Amino acid sequence: MYRKFLPFFFFVSSVLMLFTGCSARNPAGGTAGSITDSPGASSEGGAGIFAESSADSGEPDTVLGDSRQVLRIVSGSENQELEPVLETFCRQEDVQIEMTYLGSLDIMRLLGEDEISYDAVWPASSLWMNVGDTRHRIKHAQSISVTPVVFGIRQSLAESLGFVDREVSVNDLLSAIRNGSLRFCMTSATQSNSGASAYIGFLYALLGNPEVITLEDLQDETLQTEIRELLSGVDRSSGSSDWLKDMFLEGDYDAMVNYECLIIQANEELEARGDETLYTVYPYDGLSLADSPLGYVDNGDDGQEELFLSLQEYLLSDEAQNAIQRTGRRSVYTGVSEENLDVFRTDWGLQPDRVLSVIRMPDTDVLFECLNLYQTDFKKPSLNVYCLDYSGSMYGEGNEQLVAAMEQLLIQENARQNFLQASDNEVNILILFNGGVISSYSAVGSGSELEALYHVVESQEAGGGTDMYAAASYGLEMLQEYDLSQYTPAIILLTDGMSGGSFEEFEAAYQELGSEVPVFSIMFGDADESQLQELAEYTNARVFDGRENLTEAFRSVKGYN
């Protein structure tokens, strides 16, 4: 629940913020930090109550089959590619499967809740099941497939780096990053299994492959320097492995770290459209993998358990395993069947006969410290521009939802619960808008400046029209003051109505900036999805649905940066 403040405290907090907290601007020309209306196009939208996570809304992302027998599965997004295999089971056994896709860390948290409203969990790695299932409610867990986390590097670049047809170490990759030859895309280590697995693999390799990572190891100054240098090579981040692949295909990037199976899928599309494919690099001293365990949630229903076991038996059958291998996943740690070698093409650098000898994941307390350090110290700092709608349609419940959502990001004790806390060098900018830009505020770091931004969000009143283009354009103008190569920048736009203003205004500002900055949008109330989708497509970003649960939408989009 968001914090409720008395009117007097609203006033005091705002005054203290103006004099001791975050820096502020007023594009309309008023005193710095003042909340001044600006003229702008008027477009009223309806009030709304918001959502992003289908786990919270109760609605599955995909329904397969049509039957009274229903299995509800919460799964990592990478398993979307296996839906045709699941559909075959549904037809054969007259079963309906409802799939809800969440990140691995979200699945881990779900397993700690009092009630789990699913029959089965299917995360990317056993790690998250083992850490999350503290009450031991998961039964019959078995690995369905395995896929290593690898680098996919543009073929010509891999050749120029000397990475073709030889073993490549993490230090080889670090050297290429240091000399400016290699930049890559990767999912967030605190939000996605592929990012977390790659990151832990980097740590092991840079430490010289100890038997296990300890808390003391993480304090090593050489390690800290090298992991920062390595992660400085990250061009774009994502909260989802599957979306990272899609983003890569729509952008102009050198490389990405992702599952081997998703590198294969990316290459199939690149080749089909006549573009340069990726060469697969397996960092031999820091190789990690996803073992895709499917486990039953024991809620005491024998009928559901029997249904689950029939699905698991099918997925482990020769028929299903062959179909799964055709998607680029391996069935075992020691190779690929002869009939599927054509999927694992050696001219793409794939090594179907490679024996997967992988790292040992650290103990839970060390793992969490690794993730905290990634978020607060090791990764490139984020530069977040929040464009928040305060039009008249946001009055009342909509505004309350916005305050509650931003409390989870700006109040650091809350952000820490989801590994979304700020680093000392992170920059957060607020742009408040209605029919035009009202005012803007900025804060650096994770201290009082950042939390002062929360009091800005809390005290601003809603009223007027809606012009998200003016706010986003102003955000791009503010970004010109920063060396964006030192940050992972993003504009995060919330609106609940159809916007006035023009896309052309935004387009001109974007071209003037001259850097690729994603504009992630959160759809809210009666927002025009087509307008938000146009911004997302133009900037290689995505739209999040905040109409059921705005807090989850903000958490999700922050995980992409």
Ramachandran angles phi, psi of 24, nearest 5°: -140, 155
Find the radius of gyration of the CA atoms of the chain.
Answer: 24
Instruction: Give the Cβ contact number of residue 404 at 10 Å.
Output: 17
CA dihedral 203, 206, 212, 217 (to 10 degrees): -80
Which residues touch 201 (CB under 8 Å, ≥6 apart)? 149, 170, 283, 286, 287, 288, 359
At residue 25, the pLDDT reads: 52
Instruction: List the beta strands (DSSP E) in 445-505.
Output: 488-495
pLDDT at 214: 96
- Dihedral sign for Cα 333, 334, 337, 340, please: positive
Residue type, 303: G
* Residue in 289, 298, 319, 101 with CA at minimum distance from that of residue 198: 289
**Look-up: residue for tokens 């020691």?**
334
Q: What is the pTM of this model?
A: 0.86
493 with 517: CB under 8 angstroms? Answer: no
d(CA 140, CA 495): 45
Percent of the chain with pLDDT over 90: 70
CA separation for the pair 170, 178 (Å, rounded): 12
Amino acid at 419: F
The packing angle between helices 503-513 and 468-479, to 10°, is 10
Q: Write out the chain's pLDDT in tens, 561 residues.
A: 333 333 333 333 333 333 334 445 545 443 333 222 332 332 322 222 222 334 445 689 999 999 999 999 999 888 999 999 999 999 999 999 999 998 888 899 899 999 999 999 999 999 899 999 999 999 999 999 999 999 999 999 999 999 999 999 999 999 999 999 999 999 999 988 999 999 999 999 999 999 999 999 999 999 999 999 999 999 999 988 999 999 999 999 999 999 999 999 999 999 999 999 999 999 999 999 899 999 999 988 888 999 999 999 999 999 999 999 999 999 876 678 899 999 999 999 999 988 887 778 899 999 999 999 999 999 999 999 999 999 998 899 888 989 998 999 999 999 988 889 999 999 999 999 999 999 999 999 988 999 999 999 999 999 999 999 999 999 999 999 999 999 999 999 998 878 888 899 999 999 999 999 999 999 988 888 999 999 999 999 999 999 888 888 888 888 888
Cα gap 492→487, rounded to integer Å: 15
233 vs 179, 229, 257, 379, 384, CA distance in Å?
A: 10, 7, 11, 10, 19
Tokens 């159809």 belong to: 498
CA angle, residues 489, 490, 491, in degrees to nearest 5? 140
CA distance 244 to 229: 22
Say if residues 95 and 65 touch (Cβ distance below 8 Å).
yes
Nearest 10 degrees: CA dihedral of 11, 16, 19, 22? Answer: -100
- DSSP per-residue string spanning 173-218: HHHHHHTT---EEEE-TTT-HHHHHHHHHHHHHHTT--SS--TTGG
> How confident is the model at residue 17, as a pLDDT?
39
User: What strand order describes the sheet that includes 543-545?
Assistant: 23-25, 437-444, 427-433, 382-389, 488-495, 519-523, 543-545
Structure letter (DSSP) for residue 146: B
User: What are the phi and psi torsion angles at 40 (to 5°)?
Assistant: -175, 170
Q: Cβ(146)–Cβ(291) under 8 Å?
A: yes
- pLDDT attached to residue 24: 52
Using alpha carbons, select from 307, 281, 279 the residue that is nearest to residue 94. 307
pLDDT digits (tens, 9 = 90+) for 509-539: 999 999 999 999 999 888 889 999 999 999 9
Q: From CA 21, how far away is CA 392, in angstroms rounded?
A: 28
543 Ramachandran zone, left/alpha/beta (phi>0; psi -120 to 50) = beta
Q: Which residue has the tokens 């705005």?
A: 550
What number of CA atoms fall less than 13 Å from residue 158's CA on the CB side? 23
Tokens of 422: 């700020």
Closest C-alpha among 536, 543, 233, 546 to residue 394: 546
User: CB atoms < 10 A from the CB of 15, how many?
Assistant: 13
Query: Would you state the torsion angle of the CA atoms of residues 237, 239, 244, 250, taken in this order, to the nearest 10 degrees?
Result: -80
Token readout for 197 is: 């697995």
257 in Cβ contact with 186 (< 8 Å): yes
| Single-letter amino acid code for the residue at 2 | Y
Secondary element (H or E) of residue 514: none
> Residue 427 corresponds to which tokens in the numbers above?
């920059």
Pairing status of strand 382-389 against strand 427-433 = parallel
Strand ranges, E, within 447-509: 488-495
Farthest-apart Cα atoms in the chain, separation: 74
Distance CA(318)–CA(90), nearest Å, equals: 17
Report pLDDT for 172. Answer: 98
Q: Which residues contact 208 (CB under 8 A, 6 or more apart)?
A: none
Give the H/E segment covering residue 544: strand 543-545
Alpha carbon of residue 114 to chain centroid: 25
| Count of C-beta atoms within a 10 Å radius of residue 258 | 31
